[in-house]
Structure 1
Amino acid sequence: MSMNSISSNDSMSRTVEPLDVPRGLAGVVVTQTALGDVRGREGFYHYRQYSAVELAQSRSFEDVWHLMFQGELPDAAQRSAFTERTAALRHLPDEVRTALPAIARASVLAGPLAGLRTALSLFGAARDFRPVYDLDPDRRRADALAACAVVPTLLTALHRLGQGLEPVEPRDDLAYAANYLYMLTGSEPGPAEARAVEQYLISTIDHGFNASTFTGRVIASTGADVAAALVGAVGALSGPLHGGAPSRALDTLDAIGTPDRIDGWIRERVLAGERIMGFGHPVYRTADPRSVMLRGIAQGFGGPLVDFAVQVETQVEAILAELKPGRELHTNVEFYAGVVMELCGLPREMFTPTFACARAVGWSANVLEQAADSKIIRPAARYVGPVPPQPVPPVAD
């Protein structure tokens, strides 16, 4: 593209009068998608034409991954081929494997999610990922499959290296969730734990145009490669307002401690204007369907932690209804996600990275959809600084 055409496009963009929009683009429709939607007033969300919760209850992670990438649930032959293909992609190139100890040392305080940004970028370079603008749909999809398949390998390796342990090589014979737990702990998980984590992962693959998904699509709209888009999405997820709450919700349970402290502890914080981690959602105006499903999974395990969590949920919702009448504030996905992951043996510092394993599939599906549209996302901003042009002051002597 010539400089003249660039100048012309920039000039045209400056003549467009910006529209008044809500802060944070809340509720603004920015594109069309066939991947799914969130209907917050109904407490419902879906992947393509299927309820996401029903998929989590009845299908495997690989089935839903296939749905997001291929547009349909697989039959038996497709399931077998897809599972075999994605399992074979879990292994790391030597260039990435040898660099992981240094990445883990550099990110030991920030954690595996910070290390993932570097490791994913290196993986894309090692696998010769090219700009999606230059690729046909099959190659874009191949790059996206490869990236999604190694995210669990990268995250578990970075975590273990940060703990002074050796990474555990992936096993091709284990399903996605079971293999993730195996690489994380070094032991093959029980079927109940593997299925619980799988259901959590399925339920968090995609969830509308959240900040990280939108970030990934903006990067993809420039024609950049799949790894670049995913690194940007991970960066957005790392912000505490987006992806950091599952462990913080458990920290709330720890801070409350016992049932007799629930009322006083919660009231004090609500009256002080503090946020109660694990409660409230910017989209849902009724119960978060993910939380409802995960509560059922947690109750299937049972035990003191689950009983206490249910007590806290009941009392917190009653207190919030009393102190904030007219507002619908219920548990969100993070509250029982933390409980389920704790019961399945995941360390708390791996709660948000586990979320990233699932969301990488949703991000990638969005990247592939965005790559099919060559229009760059280029919004406008309303300038509110000092009135220009003003004379540039002379250099002081």
Structure 2
Amino acid sequence: MTTASPVSPIEVPRGLKGVVVTDTALGDVRGSEGFYHYRQYSAVELARTRTFEDVWHLMLYGTLPDRDERADFAARTAALRHLPEDVAAALPAIARSSALSGPLAGLRTALSLLGASAGFRPLYDTGADRRRADALAASAAVPTLLTALHRLCQGLEPVGPRDDLPYAANYLFMLTGTEPDPGRVRAVEQYLISTVDHGFNASTFTARVIASTGADLAACLAGAVGALSGPLHGGAPSRALDTLDAIGTPERIDPWIRERVLAGDRIMGFGHPVYRTEDPRSRMLRDIAEEFGGPLVEFAVQVERRVEAILAELKPGRELHTNVEFYAGVVMELCGIPREMFTPTFAAARVVGWSANILEQAEDSKIIRPAARYVGPPPPQPVPAAQRPAG
């Protein structure tokens, strides 16, 4: 009888940078080219030319819908925006508990409750149709949960969803309680489309790791939200605007930036772990911001140019450009979205990409189980005898 030899550990870069861990048909990021795509289509072109519902359909079903499919998909997903009564009834308590942490923290709890209330079953125990139904239900409910939690934290009553409004318009309506301006709706919709998916980022990978265990879809999404909440991942749009506030005036741009660069500090809204060129999402969002115009946009453009110029002077050869968070913050500010809702708005888009990745991962029964290198004291060492109490 022979026994299988153990698998030898494979040394990889810290943070798994550049390590291919699976195959995917959902999209990719080509950082050296400044390009990313959803399935076979440019993500930026989709944001410029299609609706959020079109891209949602593409991610979950693999095709862009025709006119009849679009109408059917929009009606089906709109009906799923309404929360179960027990979930809606629990939101005031969740909002009170997460008042200091914000809607994203509350979303983790609310998603778990939603999954339990809706009877989400482990991915391992369900078929493709049920998994997709759970993914649609969760994704459609996330904007309702986020806006309700935000309004409750502000001492306001939640605004229920409207089935007659598209995804982005309904999100703004539930957030503000007023009929949204079409220009703002389209700007927010383009932002949402541009952030649906973006390669194997930390939150997407987290969702897939949990999915590989066969857990239910709500558990996968709650884990992804936790990863997104970190300021080094999705938590930077409001911090990028905080940078503009800290600089304050045009004459302070150069001294403020020089001080930060020479100190080795991170400038929020700049740099990306994958892109070595301008982030294509940032380029598109800058165009959207410039269509609005105004002092904030002019100041943001000035800061962007001076950061790049000063870096070229002080750190020659180092590529550092604006990332999606920089102009995302500007666009959302112009569209009337409160800063504490910037990252939650990101989540309202990324839930579609997470769900698509969860469904894809569920087709692979192999659990994700990497190894770690032990660097503690050499084992085994004698366990010291427990000391008896004095007296």
TM over 0.5: yes
Task: Give the one of 313, 316, 320 matched to 1:322.
Answer: 313
The letter of the residue matching 2:328 is: A
**1:308 alignment counterpart:** 299
Give how far 1:20 is off: 1.1
Task: Give the one of 260, 263, 276 matched to 2:267.
Answer: 276
Task: Give the one of 335, 344, 355 matched to 1:353.
Answer: 344
**2:374 alignment counterpart:** 383
1:39 aligned onto 2:18: no
Whole-Å Cα distance in 2 between the matches of residues 12 and 268 of structure 1? Answer: 58
Whole-Å Cα distance in 1 between the matches of residues 231 and 241 of structure 2? Answer: 15
1:237 aligned onto 2:228: yes
Whole-Å Cα distance in 2 between the matches of residues 132 and 87 of structure 1? Answer: 24
Whole-Å Cα distance in 2 between the matches of residues 186 and 12 of structure 1? Answer: 63
* 1:153-192 → structure 2 map (5 Å cutoff): 153-192=144-183
**2:75 alignment counterpart:** 84
Q: Which moved more, 1:151-160 or 1:383-392?
A: 383-392
Task: Give the one of 95, 98, 112 matched to 2:89.
Answer: 98
Can you list the C-alpha shifts for 1:165-204, whole angstroms capped at 9, x where unaligned? 0000000000000000000000111110000000000000
The runs of 4+ residues in structure 1 deviating greater than 6 Å are none
TM-score (norm. length: structure 2): 0.98
Give how far 1:81 is off: 0.5
Can you list the C-alpha shifts for 1:271-312, whole angstroms capped at 9, x where unaligned? 111111111111000000000000000000011111111111
Whole-Å Cα distance in 1 between the matches of residues 204 and 230 of structure 2? Answer: 13
Give how far 1:17 is off: 2.1
Can you list the C-alpha shifts for 1:51-71, whole angstroms capped at 9, x where unaligned? 000000000000000000000
- Structure 1 residue matching 2:260: 3-state secondary structure: helix
**1:26 alignment counterpart:** 17
Can you list the C-alpha shifts for 1:375-397, whole angstroms capped at 9, x where unaligned? 11111112122222222222223
Whole-Å Cα distance in 2 between the matches of residues 352 and 257 of structure 1? Answer: 23
- Structure 2 residue matching 1:18: 3-state secondary structure: coil
Give how far 1:84 is off: 0.4
1:150 aligned onto 2:136: no
**1:59 alignment counterpart:** 50
Whole-Å Cα distance in 2 between the matches of residues 237 and 323 of structure 1? Answer: 32
Give how far 1:45 is off: 0.2
The letter of the residue matching 1:349 is: E
The letter of the residue matching 1:240 is: P
1:371 aligned onto 2:362: yes
Whole-Å Cα distance in 2 between the matches of residues 322 and 204 of structure 1? Answer: 32
Can you list the C-alpha shifts for 1:52-102, whole angstroms capped at 9, x where unaligned? 000000000000000000001001111011000000000000010000000
Can you list the C-alpha shifts for 1:250-280, whole angstroms capped at 9, x where unaligned? 0111111111110001001111111111111
The letter of the residue matching 2:153 is: G
Whole-Å Cα distance in 2 between the matches of residues 270 and 264 of structure 1? Answer: 10
Whole-Å Cα distance in 1 between the matches of residues 374 and 157 of structure 2? Answer: 52
**2:119 alignment counterpart:** 128
Whole-Å Cα distance in 1 between the matches of residues 348 and 117 of structure 2? Answer: 20
The letter of the residue matching 2:208 is: R
- Structure 2 residue matching 1:334: 3-state secondary structure: helix
Whole-Å Cα distance in 2 between the matches of residues 390 and 256 of structure 1? Answer: 56
**2:98 alignment counterpart:** 107
Whole-Å Cα distance in 2 between the matches of residues 321 and 367 of structure 1? Answer: 41
Unpaired runs of at least 5, structure 2: none
The letter of the residue matching 1:359 is: R
Percent identity, aligned pairs only?
A: 81
- Structure 2 residue matching 1:46: 3-state secondary structure: strand
378 and 315 in structure 1: CA distance in 2 versus 1, 3 angstrom threshold = same
Whole-Å Cα distance in 2 between the matches of residues 205 and 344 of structure 1? Answer: 19
Give how far 1:12 is off: 7.2
The letter of the residue matching 1:266 is: I
**1:217 alignment counterpart:** 208
**1:228 alignment counterpart:** 219
The letter of the residue matching 2:107 is: L
TM-score (norm. length: structure 1): 0.96
Whole-Å Cα distance in 2 between the matches of residues 326 and 136 of structure 1? Answer: 51
The letter of the residue matching 1:54 is: E
